Amino acid sequence: MIIIKIILISFIILIATVFVVALFISKNYKLERSIVIQCPKDSVFNYVKHLKNQN
């Protein structure tokens, strides 16, 4: 019975620690991607302006 009590208390402490850490973590993040296209601007624009090509 004591082992179950120790496991339960440890689990509760672990969950509480996760929640306390979550309070202090930044809630805003930013993701940026970039790509270099080796084509003239006109041909890229003509490709992108059609919605069917944007998949």
Tokens of 34: 């970039």
CB 48 within 8 A of CB 54: yes
Give me the pLDDT at residue 27, please: 83
Closest alpha carbon to 44 in 52, 53, 33: 53
**5-50 pLDDT, tens digit each:** 999 999 999 999 999 999 998 888 889 999 898 999 998 888 888 8
Q: Give residue limits of the domains in the chain.
A: 2-53
Lookup result for tokens 């440890």: 10
Tokens of 15: 């969950």
| 34 HSE (CA, 13 A, CB side) | 1
